[in-house]
Structure 1
Amino acid sequence: MTLVPTSEQHEIIAYPKRHVRVAAGAGTGKTTTIVERLGAFVEGGTSPTRALGITFTVKAADELRNRLRERLASETDSEEVEVATYHGFATSILDEFGPLVGFEPSSLLLDDGHRSELGQLVLRSTPSNLDLTAMDARVADLLDLNDALDRHLLSTQQLIDGAPAHGDDRTMETWEKRIDLATVAATYRSEKERLGLIEFSDLIAKAVEVVTSYPDIAAELAARYDVVLLDEYQDTDPAQRILLTAIFGPSAAVTAVGDSDQTIYEWRGASLDNFDAFPEHFPRSDGEPTETLPLSLNRRSDRLIIDLANTIKAELPSIEGSEPLVPRPEAGDGSLVVAWFGSEREEAGWIAEDILRRHDDGTAFSDTAILVRKRAWIPLLVAALREFDIPTSVSDPGTLLQIPEVADVLAWLRIVSNPDAEPALLRILMGGQYRLGLADLNALKVHADTIDADSIMASVMTPSQVDGLSQTTASQLTRFAAIHEELMRYAQANTVANTINQIITTIGFWDEAAALRPGEATTARLNIARFVNVANGWRPIEGRPTVSRFLRYIDALNESGRDEALTPPTASVVDAVELTTVHGAKGLEWGTVYLPGLQADGFPMSARRHDDPDRHAMLLPYELRLDAEHLSELAATSGNSRKEHLTERNTQSEHRLAYVAVTRAKHTITMSGHVWQDHLKRPKKPSPYLLMARDVPGATIGPWVDEPGEPPTIAPFSDSDTVPDPLFGHDVGTAFRKIIADPTTVAADYPELVDAVSERTRQLTIEIGDLSEPTADPTPKPFSTAVTNLVALAQCPLKFKWVHHDKLPRRPSKAAVRGTEFHRKVELHNLGVISLDDALPASYDAVETDEAFVDEDWTPSDPWSVFEASRFAHMRARFTEAPFEFAIGSGSIRGKIDAIYEPSPGIWEIVDYKSGRPSADPARMVQLKAYAVAVADGAVSSETPEAMSVSFAYFGGTEAEEISEAVDDQWIAEAKIEIARLVDIGAEGPWTATPSPACRFCDFLVHCDAGKAFLTSDV
């Protein structure tokens, strides 16, 4: 279809090749306009390779790139416009010129979880006067300050040097904290450099350093382009603006497209000054401010929606060229519905019913969205929609952890890491598996108080001692305690991902998922798989990958609300209602939009704090910011005057967010709120936005509660137990179990059911007869084994088969028990803790002592005493019992390394402790080879050593004996070849016997003809 541009679009498309700002209102076709502008340049002789388009997200960049290809297809055969994100453009500069400013292209990019982890490590190790009792808050302060420094191109020393000599007590106290934070931030930055780590903000700051330190490079970059398109320019931060002006300010024709009314990412560093002051930042060649052209004809929304959007827009300060939205000539009136409910649950239920009604009238679920101001409201809405069997898609980062199936697994993981994590414990005990009631919890709490326990877990672990529990509840708790202990033991010996998989299997998730409707089952499996994938891909920056560290990592990811890793996956089912935050909805549109939670203090939200740098140490003083001139009026205020100014700035931020929310709708927007909120004692009043909408001529007033009434009783959406069954009463379970045990009781106890049961039994019998035989799993699990078994495989493949595949009984081994006890003592010595529980043999890679390879006259000594006299007793291990798993060949290897020492920086020694004497068995080296490969491949830590060695340390004699080998690249390569060969044999065979003197001590000798023949021969 040929575009017929409006007069506004035509003026922008035909504007000469020089700087211009385009003030594009919501839904006005800005992407189409800038694509056409570039098309006009190409038609006028500009080569596509001389043009550059920059936007914010990868998705937006892909869309712009595809639109340009479509538009320019007839103009050029192979030449394309370069399109990048703002960070991608900075990265391309660093890939080419980064070494000039010390940037390593191989640096690893930190996500928010790892940033938090590194921040905590640095805070603990750097001397300061900061209050570390609230560690999460201090980590957030540190990262906020570090980000602000990068966005405003400041070093930590420049910030410290900017401290005033005097001021009021509160301001000077804030500066003391800021200097402490800056000192820690300096260490944080040096640690990033040492570990080869970078952040997104580093990319921009380093690129700026390149173009400002080397003006000839800036000129070279500018000379590559005649035309530059900057999309969503209102969301850029000051450092990004400096990068762009340094390169393109004096040369290429820059078209900046944006809307100051949609600047909703100030909390991420976006500066209102960038778009507002673009004419001065990118002046004309004669020095005068650049011109601004408007785009105001809305091509998306109907009239009532535009009327409301303009009402909100009128509350915001306007920039030159920004005009109210104008509806397209063919726009309909649309629908604007407002409603006010007694409670949030009534509101959510009504929304679900209304969505279902509209769907029955022809509105697709996929053309419907629910936008919320706060993520916390999403679970309640999901529950309401599920009550009406409405398919949902939750696309907001962080909401994965709130989805019921993931939240259940996460709750188990939390109590495995910390048994006193009561919120997680209560979720499990009150959930579907155990169904404890408030009376049961009260009994547990009373008992915990009686025995002076820190949490109710002490009561849960000893239910027989708790008064007031029924026999059924006590049995349930006994079962829970056994599962919890089993999972805690498992977690000590396995990786985080394996522990999560064990939890999933133990709690029966796969069986529960199979019982769901096909669409729900697929969604549930995808959600769990996404969570497991996060765990599989996680490695700590330093140290052991423990469950507790993983929990801190995902909590930090979740808190950031920015990482796509915690966004629920989208199934192939396309017809689903979208739930997301208003921030997440920017750039999207739907035919029908619901905007719930519109009560005062809900939306608009009041500021939790006023961003006053005189009161908050993580904020930069106004005078040190790159946009200081824009903030000069605010900087001149103090006290109540500043508070009023900051309150107004927050209100304007909320207005911009409301404007974005309303303009997502094409035909219908329904806005609602509620009086009573769960757990709150005071009634709420309608939001100003809800009242604005009600006052728009033509708005439809739906259900509206005039009086607050009494707060409602909290109840879940589905609670069938509250209504007694007409036949069985409240005790359906007892009746069901009785009938299962003795079907004849149906006729005696429930004569009304005889005919129905007989008919249903007949139907089920027919259905069972029609069932096909189960087929084999078409996708068997990939081969995986422990290092211990890998050694057995190297010794004798047939022995491995009987250990791993066709498992045969094995004799108890005193040597194994002795080795496990010894390993446990050494582990606790290295960790500096006392034992929580008896050690499990499976907790360690304890390869058995092969008596055939040691002296027959040897009598075991006390290995612990020998260890205490060795060099290892006085060395601090960098890693202790470090779990790992890595893929190789046709499978994977897992295990735990006893200890890794770092005798000098970058030099690692991998040590495996043995409670026996040195062995001549060559197969044992496979264990150290697997350990070295795990370290080299980053399966133990994201950091790898500059050089390493591997050692067996034997403590079974009168003194420690060591067997060591140096490791280099050739050694690793040969080790990988050998391990891959063994893994392939372990997975597929052949499992041939390899007789040796060790056959005399093999558990399986009675089954092995080859072994018996070897021992009876003369060999």
Structure 2
Amino acid sequence: MGADASRFHARKGGENEVTAIADEAARQRFAHELDRNFSVIASAGSGKTRAITERILEIAKQGHRALEWLPQLVVVTYTNRAADEMQQRTRQRILEAGLPLEIVEAFGRAYFGTIHAFCMKLLATYGHRLGLPARLETITDDDDLWNEFVQQQTEIGHSLGHKNRRPLLRLMQARQLMELARNQDHHFVPPQSLGQCPECDFSKVEAAVESAQTNIPKAKAQLRGWLRRWHDTDEFAPWPPCATTAKEFTSCWREAFRPLREWASACASCVAAEVQRDYREFRLAHGAITYSDQVALAVELLRLPDVAMQIRGKNYRVLLDEAQDTDPQQFCVLLETTRPVKARGEWLQTKRDPPRLGQFCMVGDFQQSIYRDPNDLNHYRTLHDALVETRAAEQLKFSVTFRLDQAQLDFVNETFVKIFNNTEGQVEFVKLSPRPEILPGQVIRFELGDDIDLSLSETQRAQAEAERLAKWIRDVGLQKLRARCWREVAVLCPRKTWLGPLRRALLKERIPVEVQSESDRQAEHPAYAWLTALLAIMVDPNASYEIVGVLREVFGLSDDELARFAQGDGYKFQFEHKIPGRGAVAGTLNLLRRVRDVLPHQPLFSAVREIVRMTQLRERLRDLPREQFGDSVSELEKLLSAAAAAEAQQESLADFALTLRRNFDKIRETEPAEADAVQLITAHKAKGSEWDAVIVPFLAREARLGGNIRYPLVIPGEQPFIAFDRSDRANLEDEMKKIQRQEMERLLYVALTRARHTLVLALDAEFFRGKRGVHSDTQLKWLQADANEPNYMVVSSLSDQAAACEETAARHMAAALEPVADSLSALRLETGWVDIARQQAACIIQTVTPSQLGPEEEPGETPDTEEWIEIEPELRPARIANPATRYGIWWHEFAQKIPWLSEGNAWQAAFEANLSLSPEPARSKREWKLLTKYASENPEFFAGNIFAEMPFFWRMNEQNCLEGLIDVALFQPHEKKWFVLDWKTNRIERDQIDKLRVAYRPQIAAYWKAVTEITKRPVSAGIYSTATGDLIAYNEKELAEEWERLRGSQRDELTR
């Protein structure tokens, strides 16, 4: 949002005035009271991103405290795109404030990202405490792993015992139980107690009055047959279906089966918990981890008292955005990290030792909870109330909207106060307040009338509505819609399948259109699917099924050509060997063979780039219709960047292909529109976005919320229940429909609060009205605007004429809209964006870290410690693979906490406080003893001013900078001289000291040169070997010669 969210600047009478807004006090408190925890309820368009930015900016203005607090920031958002945007905005505000560079550097170490990435950050450092493997890969498609896991299972339900396992497996198949456990959205907890399989009393069922018309005799016969099989045999006896829908009989039926179903539900939960645990262990053993695993394992970490103490010792300051989209386990991670160091238990259970003041704030909106299980919303409300009631946090409300103009604001206030009534589990409505100098806005009623042939199918009627709406949009035009361009017009639907007719109708009217929601999954985008398929067949040139897919989809060969080539032999589709003969199929297979022949011994990125070039994949993607698939070439460039990143992680072509395959089902984030075209998007995807004009069609069309339900089904609640067929849901049917309706009411609120200037409602009741009227599962019913409903008159009284607004147009002119495309679009090079970027790279200053100048192999261990310390936290590897590295990191972090200028007792206290966190306590004690001995024998060495973990950044020349962290920098005031000290935790003996000295001389020479040039003071330098207790000092001549050698013979190393 461009305007200041806390104050509005307006010009009146030739002077600037600052006008306070209605919720000014709440915004000021959130921004400035840094020693308070807050739970903020932020309405639609209330500028919550700006509010969070202002709070971070206020932290940055705290001088010395900012240097401590900024690196402790953990800003958690729902998507990576939101995190990037918030980080960029905040950095810009810090730069505009003219704060010192050291503040900017400290801000660069703050965490901005998703909860899952934060959990991975914790697992990377402490995961070894849970026995996690060195390398973990996040997956979304686990079909292959699951099939392998299932094939290895010989028996399930070990915890049930034979007496319970046998009857359970007679009622349902083992495959069903395992598929139930595969559900990542539900965490199964085994029941505390489990009785024996109960006997059921069917006397009331047998006594029920029979009527042939109701199929009751048939139902009784089926029951008797099932009972004979259940009691007299050991055969499989699945739940018998009830052949009748007679209300009283089905009620007796359900009541008779209730004890057995409750027992089966408890047993199934027990088995599911067991399989879920085993499958997670199986995944981890194969180096695979799901998003839900990431959070669950982080929770397990925080249940280890010593690990929890170390994490809390980091003093994280959490700012949670979109709190309504956070589930209970995610809340647990964030809450527990901010509690006092020695806190025990989980806060929501104990209500003791709440998050420390100023270290936990969350911003959310109950009204916009649309993504999660309804129990997650209840959990969020419970957490909010608990924080407020225990005074662990204070409630603030942001009600002023900086998005909606007056007409939309009045409409939302008048309608949703009747919908969000704070009863039966629905949320309470927060009335929106206007901003100063608000524009008039307009809410338009577009009547489609009743001239429609109701004998047409629903799909045909929807197409007719789409065509009329498209014609109306063309006739009204941008000016009357008060939109700056077509990109600022959005059409929102609750269902993705409804977007197709709209797209066809708009194109028919020659209105540019872009569908934002047709590519929910990665695999639905051609760039991702085609490149993945090409890599897969390069790994396995005999994968005939996949090869046929590539020939059809990527190369466009017809089924007829493929059939004539195969002649019934599918094994002909291979390219491990040359294909004889001519023709399109043979020629393409031989092309693929030539591609594969050039790949051996090429690094990953080069191999992928060569595959793209030789198959002309970039050109094929460029030919796809942009209005349907967006910028496919840019998507390809992102994948090439991912290949480069994978190469840096030492992945092979097979590894990268498997990674892409496993992420086929990963949900893609909505990207900002690039083309000037009307945006077609689902209401779910629209959350977090806004447009000048928003059109909501198909108000009376049935949304069909039920879908295809697969059993067994977990029905969430305080006591989750497993439904084995529809009869188990019967008693809960009304409650489930109510919960579903309430969620869709909140989704409608999201849709109707996206428009800045114009909101259009397409009224189509006569298009979809059935014999019983408008269906209950429609937007019109959720809005309660059908005939004789509370909001009917509100909607009926809306204007049916869109009108231009001079005031809005003038405001648009003043906003100086930025161009759609940047200057790079003029470079129409066939080489693609990666090559363009490479051409621009010559003007970029290259950064070198001292660890790059160290040894390729350290004596006794790997050089990962120095690299880990120097690298930005968010760019660090997913796991600390080497035990020696873990110890080195522990030593560096501990040494940073040593109170060098205090007495020896304080040193010892610091060591004892950190000893429990060491991966090798015995070694730590031994090496600590050596350090204290050296300090006692050389007291003058630590007598000056001491700076631990001192960062530096020095520009060596026009093209290169040297950046790093000095472990300990000692300044001797009397001599005005520096000494640079670097810790070395290599496992070596004293006779290897000279090897250590030579190995690290290039790195220390870089430190020496940088500090000398920056401070213009004499500098000495050395390394301290923790294993031997020796300080190894370098003389100035030695370092100067080494630096000259680096500049000369190893210049390529410096500029790489």
Distance in 1 between residues matched to 2:638 and 2:98, nearest whole Å: 43
The aligned amino acid for 1:586 is: K
The aligned amino acid for 1:63 is: E
Q: 1:582: Cα distance to partner?
A: 2.1
Count of aligned pairs: 640
Report Cα offsets for 1:199-255 as digits up to 9, x if no partner.
333332333233332268448626725x54322111111112222332332423333
Report Cα offsets for 1:894-934 as digits up to 9, x if no partner.
xxxxxxxxxxxxxxxxxxxxxxxxxxxxxxxxxxxxxxxxx
Report Cα offsets for 1:492-538 as digits up to 9, x if no partner.
99999999999999999888778789999994545677789999999
- Give me the identity figure in percent: 21
Q: 1:300: Cα distance to partner?
A: 0.5
Correspondence list, 1:767-786, <5 A: none
Find the counterpart in structure 2 of residue 221 from structure 1. 312
Find the counterpart in structure 2 of residue 26 from structure 1. 44
Distance in 1 between residues matched to 2:544 and 2:144, nearest whole Å: 22
Q: 1:39 to 1:551 in 2, by over 3 A?
A: closer
Report Cα offsets for 1:248-289 as digits up to 9, x if no partner.
32423333211111111215x9811343123444356xx457
1:55 has 2:176 as partner: no
Distance in 2 between residues matched to 1:24 and 1:124, nearest whole Å: 50
Distance in 1 between residues matched to 2:534 and 2:119, nearest whole Å: 42
Distance in 2 between residues matched to 1:518 and 1:688, nearest whole Å: 32
Distance in 2 between residues matched to 1:781 and 1:207, nearest whole Å: 37
Aligned equivalent of 1:190, options 277, 281, 306: 281
1:689 has 2:689 as partner: no
Distance in 1 between residues matched to 2:89 and 2:645, nearest whole Å: 34
Distance in 2 between residues matched to 1:39 and 1:492, nearest whole Å: 53
Q: 1:417 to 1:250 in 2, by over 3 A?
A: same
Distance in 1 between residues matched to 2:74 and 2:597, nearest whole Å: 51
Question: Residues 367 and 577 of structure 1 are in contact (CA less than 8 Å); yes or no, is this contact kept in structure 2?
Answer: yes
Question: Residues 371 and 582 of structure 1 are in contact (CA less than 8 Å); yes or no, is this contact kept in structure 2?
Answer: yes
Correspondence list, 1:195-274, <5 A: 195-214=286-305, 217-218=308-309, 221=312, 224=315, 228-246=318-336, 247-248=338-339, 249-253=354-358, 254-267=360-373, 271-274=376-379
Corresponding residue SS for 2:303: helix
Q: 1:47 to 1:87 in 2, by over 3 A?
A: farther
Find the counterpart in structure 1 of residue 242 from structure 2. none
Distance in 2 between residues matched to 1:621 and 1:289, nearest whole Å: 27
Q: 1:323 to 1:45 in 2, by over 3 A?
A: farther
The unaligned stretches of length 5 or more in structure 1 are 437-443, 445-455, 464-477, 626-636, 704-774, 783-941, 945-1019
Find the counterpart in structure 2 of residue 394 from structure 1. 516
Q: 1:326 to 1:641 in 2, by over 3 A?
A: farther
Q: 1:119 to 1:462 in 2, by over 3 A?
A: closer
Q: 1:610 to 1:219 in 2, by over 3 A?
A: farther
Find the counterpart in structure 2 of residue 608 from structure 1. 707
Aligned equivalent of 1:367, options 468, 488, 493: 488
The aligned amino acid for 1:315 is: I
Aligned equivalent of 2:121, options 64, 78, 92: 92
Correspondence list, 1:964-1003, <5 A: none
Question: Residues 241 and 274 of structure 1 are in contact (CA less than 8 Å); yes or no, is this contact kept in structure 2?
Answer: no
Correspondence list, 1:553-702, <5 A: 557=663, 559=665, 562-563=667-668, 573-602=674-703, 605-608=704-707, 616=712, 622-623=718-719, 640-672=730-762, 688-690=778-780, 692=783, 695=792, 696=795, 698-701=797-800
Q: 1:222 to 1:518 in 2, by over 3 A?
A: closer
The aligned amino acid for 1:331 is: L
Distance in 1 between residues matched to 2:58 and 2:292, nearest whole Å: 35
Corresponding residue SS for 1:670: strand
Distance in 2 between residues matched to 1:432 and 1:353, nearest whole Å: 35
Corresponding residue SS for 1:297: coil
Q: 1:27: Cα distance to partner?
A: 0.8
Distance in 2 between residues matched to 1:38 and 1:458, nearest whole Å: 64
Report Cα offsets for 1:565-605 as digits up to 9, x if no partner.
xx7x889x542333333222211111122334444432xx4
Find the counterpart in structure 1 of residue 441 from structure 2. 333
1:314 has 2:314 as partner: no
Distance in 1 between residues matched to 2:611 and 2:487, nearest whole Å: 34
The aligned amino acid for 1:265 is: Y
Q: 1:31 to 1:492 in 2, by over 3 A?
A: closer
Q: What is the Cα-based RMSD across aligned positions, in Å?
A: 6.0
Find the counterpart in structure 1 of residue 347 from structure 2. none
Distance in 1 between residues matched to 2:743 and 2:488, nearest whole Å: 28
Find the counterpart in structure 2 of residue 805 from structure 1. none
Corresponding residue SS for 1:266: coil
The aligned amino acid for 1:655 is: E
Question: Residues 416 and 429 of structure 2 are in contact (CA less than 8 Å); yes or no, is this contact kept in structure 1?
Answer: no
Aligned equivalent of 2:183, options 136, 139, 144: 144
Distance in 1 between residues matched to 2:525 and 2:291, nearest whole Å: 29
Correspondence list, 1:896-935, <5 A: none
Aligned equivalent of 2:139, options 104, 111, 114: 111
Aligned equivalent of 1:324, options 431, 445, 453: 431
Q: 1:379: Cα distance to partner?
A: 4.6
Distance in 2 between residues matched to 1:780 and 1:600, nearest whole Å: 43
The aligned amino acid for 1:262 is: Q
Q: 1:348: Cα distance to partner?
A: 3.7
Distance in 2 between residues matched to 1:409 and 1:461, nearest whole Å: 24
Report Cα offsets for 1:951-988 as digits up to 9, x if no partner.
xxxxxxxxxxxxxxxxxxxxxxxxxxxxxxxxxxxxxx
Distance in 2 between residues matched to 1:511 and 1:306, nearest whole Å: 47
Which is worse superposed, 2-11 or 654-663?
Answer: 2-11
Correspondence list, 1:4-83, <5 A: 4=7, 5-14=20-29, 17-37=35-55, 39=57, 47-48=65-66, 49-50=68-69, 52-56=73-77, 57-73=79-95, 74=97, 76-77=99-100, 78-79=102-103, 80=106, 82-83=110-111
Q: 1:223 to 1:667 in 2, by over 3 A?
A: same
Question: Residues 359 and 365 of structure 1 are in contact (CA less than 8 Å); yes or no, is this contact kept in structure 2?
Answer: no
Question: Residues 521 and 668 of structure 2 are in contact (CA less than 8 Å); yes or no, is this contact kept in structure 1?
Answer: no
The unaligned stretches of length 5 or more in structure 2 are 8-19, 157-168, 198-257, 340-353, 453-459, 569-581, 722-726, 787-791, 803-827, 836-878, 882-1056
Q: 1:512 to 1:356 in 2, by over 3 A?
A: farther
Distance in 1 between residues matched to 2:82 and 2:466, nearest whole Å: 32
Which is worse superposed, 160-169 or 479-488?
Answer: 479-488
Distance in 1 between residues matched to 2:676 and 2:122, nearest whole Å: 42
Distance in 1 between residues matched to 2:174 and 2:594, nearest whole Å: 29
Distance in 2 between residues matched to 1:638 and 1:22, nearest whole Å: 40
Find the counterpart in structure 2 of residue 830 from structure 1. none
Corresponding residue SS for 1:592: strand
Correspondence list, 1:364-513, <5 A: 364-387=485-508, 388=510, 390=512, 392=514, 394=516, 397-398=519-520
Question: Residues 478 and 486 of structure 2 are in contact (CA less than 8 Å); yes or no, is this contact kept in structure 1?
Answer: no
What TM-score do you get using the length of structure 1 for normalisation?
0.51
Corresponding residue SS for 2:285: helix
1:124 has 2:214 as partner: no
The aligned amino acid for 1:579 is: L
Q: 1:652: Cα distance to partner?
A: 1.0
What TM-score do you get using the length of structure 2 for normalisation?
0.49
Corresponding residue SS for 2:319: strand
Q: 1:644 to 1:320 in 2, by over 3 A?
A: closer
Question: Residues 301 and 307 of structure 2 are in contact (CA less than 8 Å); yes or no, is this contact kept in structure 1?
Answer: no
The aligned amino acid for 2:695 is: Y
Q: 1:42: Cα distance to partner?
A: 6.3
Question: Residues 373 and 582 of structure 1 are in contact (CA less than 8 Å); yes or no, is this contact kept in structure 2?
Answer: yes
Q: 1:134 to 1:305 in 2, by over 3 A?
A: farther
